[in-house]
Chains A and B, each alone.
Chain A
Amino acid sequence: MTARVAPTAVSIAAEVRGGTRSARSVVEEHLARIAEREPAIHAFNLVLRDEALAAADAVDAAVAAGDDPGPLAGVPVALKDNLCTRGVPTTCSSRILEGWRPPYDATVVERLRRSGAITIGKTNLDEFAMGSSTENSAFGPTRNPHDLTKVPGGSSGGSAAAVAANFAPLALGSDTGGSIRQPASLCGVVGVKPTYGVVSRYGLVAFASSLDQIGPFATTVHDAALLLEIIGGHDPLDSTSIPSPAPSLVDVLDRGVDGLRIGIIGELAGEGIAPDVLARLHEAANVLEKAGAIIDTATIPAAMYGLSAYYLIAPAEASSNLARYDGVRYGLRVDAPTTAEMNELSRTAGFGAEVKRRIMLGTYALSAGYYDSYYGKAQKVRTLIINDFAKAYEQFDLLLSPTSPTTAFALGAKTSDPLTMYLNDICTIPSNLAGQPAMSVPFGVGDDGMPVGVQLLAPLQGEPTMFRAAAVLEAAMKETSR
């Protein structure tokens, strides 16, 4: 394990904006670290070395000219490779999109550029964000920077690993069922899934549209808050975008949790959760209690059905979202005598096993005669979960649970059994189904010395309260490590 010495995004931006440090030196420093450790970790599908240096020079030129490049001036950011970047390959770690260069930038990419941030590379993921270990990438797995024999989690494993390895102080991921929070937990960084609609999905290659949400990875709660403020806020290009500005987070970080009512989700704090993870969870609860919060047990009875509902809804939407990869317009094409055969051969060659499994599952769930008992029923479970959360939030301001049932597991340990792999997301899925915000905050290590994260959950647009609690947990961890 490398000692974490890299500066935060907040400190880098302050130095670059103040002219005390060049963006070029910041980027060079991060590129040097990438050169050293990336071959072993494989966090990136693509490192944008020349582009990053050019962007850094532009930032430096702006500062020299007396302009302010923005609140993330000179800060390297790693982007999950399912975020569209104009003219830069965007693969979703799939053969089917290999070589495709989007003609446009995702809204979040555009907002990052306007804030002075520098895209340093596109990070690896489970193909089309389907997985919990980043082993489902067509371009090979990413390894956990804390232990190269372990997975980084997934699907945003590349982004989590990039931040954990200090390849970039910030990264963006996408979270459909836990794909930001679970790898954040396994890699020991902060990861946030915002309220559905807080961050524009325009330019995020869709996996399951009603669940997908882009969110930040960072080494500190403050950095994550800043990044979310920058990427959040209404976007007319996304019809599901909430018509209000991004939440104010940085300003509330120091407000503490005194008087907040925080519930530990009973259903997610017992069976199926590793003892060391549970121990950290209760320590976190104690920290919050000491800081003035009122801790009790909350109940979300329908949470236990979340996984089943998720594995119908997400594949159903995916089966439709991924239909467009048919070899006609872009990406991989395997030629054949007829269009239908060309579609079939292209998709057979272009998609990996997990993607195919979910397309099959989703197609089945939506089929005539099965819709009501599968997709229809799953939507009802979704409503139950929303109702359960609503009831819980009558009594609590925030909820608390583990992020992942275990610490990072070994590469290959769960690849042969999809169901075991799916269980990784048991704690994170309910928030996606409910559209509510949740985040993972590093909170110590497990018996194996690997990072453990705890999950804070909040009602719709409850990010400010959630970040206050996260800041309290983070401060407590700093105390302990001192």
Chain B
Amino acid sequence: MTEVIEFQPGWELIVGLEVHCELATKTKMFCGCRNEFGHEPNTNVCPTCLGLPGSLPVVNGSAVEYAMRLGRALQCTVSPSVFARKNYFYPDMPKDYQVTQYDKPTNTAGKLELPDGSFVGITRAHLEEDTGKTSHQGGDGRIHGAESSLVDYNRAGVPLVEIVSEPDIRTADQAKAYVDELRKIVLALGVSDAKMEEGSMRVDANVSVRPVGEPEFRTRCEIKNINSIRSVGRAIEHEAKRHIALYDVGEKPTQETRHWDEEHGRTRAGRSKENSDDYRYFDEPDLVPLVPTADDIARIDAALPMLPASRRRRLAEITGAAAADVTLVVDRGHDDFVVSVVGVGADAKKTLTRVENDLPPDQPITLAPQSFAQLVIMETAGELTATQAKQVLAEMLENGGDPKAIAAAKGFEAMASGALEAVVDGIIAANPADWAEFVVADDKARKKLSGFFTGQVMKATQGQADGRAVAEVLARRAAR
């Protein structure tokens, strides 16, 4: 990034994101238990995901496949990888260590393209197992002051990919766009349902600020417990302001984990103890290294679906629109339809407009591209006015059918020729004073009066006249 974006005058924001995605495999990472959300506590468990003495993990091949798919979609290098143990005590972690990838992760050195065409570097995307969930009873629901705690291990051992970005992000909006884009990629790949509210996608933000021009990074804080894309932006902005406020009074933030408090719109310090943890990583001796072959990677690449960035690029190229202006249609999954419609000869720009504005945004398109193309072609040729085209489309969506036949049935064809002139002549006759004025008016005044006549024509035709055609008839009559 060459251009410095100032967060506040004189201050630059630096953000790196760690996103955890639960993989939508049928079973857990290291055992055959169901990987499903919302069951009775401790019903999807077995000796392995409960970490019972003597149990052993067996890698879920689908999880590895999904992780590599995501890695390749993020343009990562896929390498032989080794699982490691991350040792720390926590009651929702059955073995009191987490099996994860440490110094030899599956995916490294990738990048993610944002809708505005900028890139955020991906440091790594590694596989690991999720923990269970603790709920604290009594007190304020936090661990301190709780009277007792209950643990649900249904989530323990669910496969996760942790995607770690480079500290390339400079604005809160960019951070939101990154998370949004990552979510779309994951959904396009079908590797996760990526629901932030259910926790199947979780975002931790590493936030720091530095004076513009300072080359080194300053102390960062890791913000956890961010539950929506909107909160990603809010949490980052709040934290950055907190840092600047501290520097402004000559203090410094401490490197720590902080929790986003959605209700109060601020971050809170976690226990400082958590930060002094030494995880004592070592290679997991119960598992063997994963060694994907070149053939495996080629097979995964070949099977990758078209990703959002490519879809945006394709649509922008076809329609001549800016990449940012095709985002909506791509996000709705309507871009393939536009491509097909344009492919059978319809005007690209008009097609994009009609699809974006006049098709139900949340539904897959059931119309035949040929029919839709026909409609656009008729409109472009002036056989239908914009209003008529919309009415024909509504009918097509409701009952199906051929646009030509629908237009004919509605009597829209006649309006394009002699009928319009007759209506215009009628309006001229009914408003002789205005017409006399129109005939002698200069361009500026004529424009104003033209609006009056067009309005009257529209009224008479119930909006079915083409505004441009009305203007032409008026000009012709006035020149006579």
Q: Is the CB of B58 within 8 A of A239?
A: yes
Residues of B within 8 A of A203 (CB): 54-55
B132, chain A: closest CB distance, angstroms: 10
Would you call A461 an interface residue if the criterion is a C-beta within 8 Å of the partner chain's C-beta atoms?
Answer: no
A368 to B278, CA, bound (A): 6
Q: Is the CB of B286 within 8 A of A209?
A: yes
A316, chain B: closest CB distance, angstroms: 6
Residues of A within 8 A of B57 (CB): 239
Residues of B within 8 A of A368 (CB): 278, 280
Out of A210, A238, A367, which one reaches B56, CB within 8 Å? A238
A312 to B381, CA, bound (A): 83
Q: Is the CB of A324 within 8 A of B51?
A: yes
Out of A100, A103, A210, which one reaches B285, CB within 8 Å? A210
Q: Which residue of A lies closest to B50 (CB)?
A: A329
A343 to B280, CA, bound (A): 19
Would you call B258 an interface residue if the criterion is a C-beta within 8 Å of the partner chain's C-beta atoms?
Answer: no
B146, chain A: closest CB distance, angstroms: 9
With contacts A239-B288, A324-B94, A324-B96 taken as known, whether A106 is within 8 angstroms of B58 at the C-beta atoms is: no
Out of B54, B96, B280, which one reaches A326, CB within 8 Å? B96
Q: Is the CB of A102 within 8 A of B53?
A: yes
Q: Is the CB of A339 within 8 A of B56?
A: no
Mask: chain A, 223-237; 1 = CB below 8 Å from B; 0 = not = 000000000000011
Residues of A within 8 A of B278 (CB): 367-368
Mask: chain B, 264-291; 1 = CB below 8 Å from A; 0 = not = 0000000000000010111001111000
Chain A: interface residue total (CB-CB under 8 A): 44
With contacts A84-B53, A102-B52, A366-B87 taken as known, whether A324 is within 8 angstroms of B282 at the C-beta atoms is: no
Q: Is the CB of B282 within 8 A of A366?
A: yes
Would you call B247 an interface residue if the criterion is a C-beta within 8 Å of the partner chain's C-beta atoms?
Answer: no
Q: Which of A312-345 contact B (CB under 8 A)?
A: 316-317, 319-320, 323-324, 326, 328-330, 339-340, 343
Would you call A201 an interface residue if the criterion is a C-beta within 8 Å of the partner chain's C-beta atoms?
Answer: yes
Would you call B378 an interface residue if the criterion is a C-beta within 8 Å of the partner chain's C-beta atoms?
Answer: no
Out of B53, B281, B282, B287, which one reaches A97, CB within 8 Å? B53
Q: Is the CB of B286 within 8 A of A239?
A: yes
Q: Which of B402-430 contact A (CB under 8 A)?
A: none
With contacts A90-B53, A330-B52, A339-B149 taken as known, whether A240 is within 8 angstroms of B286 at the C-beta atoms is: yes
Q: Which of B48-69 contact A (CB under 8 A)?
A: 50-59
Residues of A within 8 A of B50 (CB): 329
Q: Is the CB of A324 within 8 A of B95?
A: yes
Q: Which residue of B lies closest to A325 (CB)?
A: B53
Residues of B within 8 A of A239 (CB): 56-59, 286-288
Mask: chain A, 162-183; 1 = CB below 8 Å from B; 0 = not = 0000000000000000000000
Out of B51, B55, B94, B285, which one reaches A317, CB within 8 Å? B285
Would you call A407 an interface residue if the criterion is a C-beta within 8 Å of the partner chain's C-beta atoms?
Answer: no
Q: Which residue of A lies closest to B277 (CB)?
A: A368
B134, chain A: closest CB distance, angstroms: 9
Residues of B within 8 A of A363 (CB): 280
Q: Is the CB of B56 within 8 A of A237?
A: yes
Would you call B473 an interface residue if the criterion is a C-beta within 8 Å of the partner chain's C-beta atoms?
Answer: no
A426, chain B: closest CB distance, angstroms: 23
A355, chain B: closest CB distance, angstroms: 14
Would you call A467 an interface residue if the criterion is a C-beta within 8 Å of the partner chain's C-beta atoms?
Answer: no
Residues of B within 8 A of A298 (CB): none
Mask: chain A, 365-391; 1 = CB below 8 Å from B; 0 = not = 011100100010000000000000000
A343 to B88, CA, bound (A): 12
Residues of A within 8 A of B282 (CB): 316-317, 320, 366, 371, 375
Dominant SS among interface residues on chain B: loop
Out of B55, B58, B91, B287, which one reaches A328, CB within 8 Å? B91
Would you call B143 an interface residue if the criterion is a C-beta within 8 Å of the partner chain's C-beta atoms?
Answer: yes
Q: Which of A198-247 contact B (CB under 8 A)?
A: 201-206, 208-210, 236-240
Residues of B within 8 A of A319 (CB): 87, 280
B122, chain A: closest CB distance, angstroms: 26
Would you call B217 an interface residue if the criterion is a C-beta within 8 Å of the partner chain's C-beta atoms?
Answer: no
Would you call B85 an interface residue if the criterion is a C-beta within 8 Å of the partner chain's C-beta atoms?
Answer: yes
With contacts A104-B47, A343-B89 taken as known, whether A202 is within 8 angstroms of B96 at the C-beta atoms is: no
Would you call B151 an interface residue if the criterion is a C-beta within 8 Å of the partner chain's C-beta atoms?
Answer: yes
Q: Is the CB of A92 within 8 A of B53?
A: yes
A339 to B278, CA, bound (A): 19
Out of B54, B94, B96, which one reaches A206, CB within 8 Å? B54
Residues of B within 8 A of A237 (CB): 56, 58
Q: Is the CB of B54 within 8 A of A205?
A: yes
Chain B: interface residue total (CB-CB under 8 A): 30
Would you call B11 an interface residue if the criterion is a C-beta within 8 Å of the partner chain's C-beta atoms?
Answer: no
Would you call B97 an interface residue if the criterion is a C-beta within 8 Å of the partner chain's C-beta atoms?
Answer: yes
A416 to B280, CA, bound (A): 30
Q: Which of A111-146 contact B (CB under 8 A)?
A: none
Out of B47, B143, B151, B286, which one reaches A102, CB within 8 Å? B47
A322, chain B: closest CB distance, angstroms: 9
Q: Which of B96-143 contact A (CB under 8 A)?
A: 96-97, 143
Residues of B within 8 A of A82 (CB): 54
With contacts A102-B53, A239-B59, A240-B286 taken as known, whether A339 is within 8 angstroms of B143 at the C-beta atoms is: yes
B401, chain A: closest CB distance, angstroms: 58
A120 to B3, CA, bound (A): 77
Residues of B within 8 A of A326 (CB): 89, 91, 96
Determine which residue in A83, A329, A375 has the highest number of CB atoms from chain B within 10 A of its CB, and name it: A329
Residues of B within 8 A of A104 (CB): 47, 52, 54-55
Q: Which residue of B lies closest to A364 (CB)?
A: B280
B358, chain A: closest CB distance, angstroms: 56
Determine which residue in B50, B57, B278, B285 has the highest number of CB atoms from chain A within 10 A of its CB, and name it: B285
With contacts A210-B285, A339-B149, A367-B278 taken as known, whether A323 is within 8 angstroms of B89 at the C-beta atoms is: yes
A363 to B285, CA, bound (A): 16
Residues of B within 8 A of A102 (CB): 47, 52-54
Determine which residue in B58, B280, B286 has the highest number of CB atoms from chain A within 10 A of its CB, and name it: B280
A210 to B59, CA, bound (A): 17
Q: Is the CB of B58 within 8 A of A329?
A: no
A54 to B441, CA, bound (A): 115
Q: Is the CB of B94 within 8 A of A329?
A: yes
Q: Which residue of B lies closest to A323 (CB)?
A: B96
A209 to B85, CA, bound (A): 12
A92 to B288, CA, bound (A): 26
Out of A83, A320, A339, which one reaches B97, CB within 8 Å? A320
A204, chain B: closest CB distance, angstroms: 6
Q: Is the CB of A202 within 8 A of B54?
A: yes
A1, chain B: closest CB distance, angstroms: 36
Mask: chain A, 49-86; 1 = CB below 8 Å from B; 0 = not = 00000000000000000000000000000000011100
Q: Is the CB of A201 within 8 A of B56?
A: yes
Residues of A within 8 A of B281 (CB): 366
Residues of A within 8 A of B89 (CB): 323, 326, 340, 343
Q: Is the CB of A84 within 8 A of B54?
A: yes
B156, chain A: closest CB distance, angstroms: 11
Question: Which 8 A/B pairs are nearest by Cβ-Cβ distance?
Answer: A323-B96, A210-B285, A366-B280, A209-B285, A205-B53, A84-B54, A203-B54, A368-B278
Additional A-B contact list (8), CB under 8 Å, known A202-B55, A324-B51, A328-B91: A100-B53, A103-B47, A206-B53, A236-B58, A237-B56, A320-B97, A329-B50, A366-B280
18 pairs, A vs B, C-beta closer than 8 Å: A90-B53, A102-B52, A102-B53, A202-B56, A203-B55, A204-B54, A208-B285, A239-B58, A240-B286, A320-B280, A323-B95, A323-B97, A324-B51, A324-B53, A324-B94, A324-B95, A324-B96, A375-B282
Chain B residues close to A by CB (< 8 Å): 47, 50-59, 85, 87, 89, 91, 94-97, 143, 149, 151, 278, 280-282, 285-288
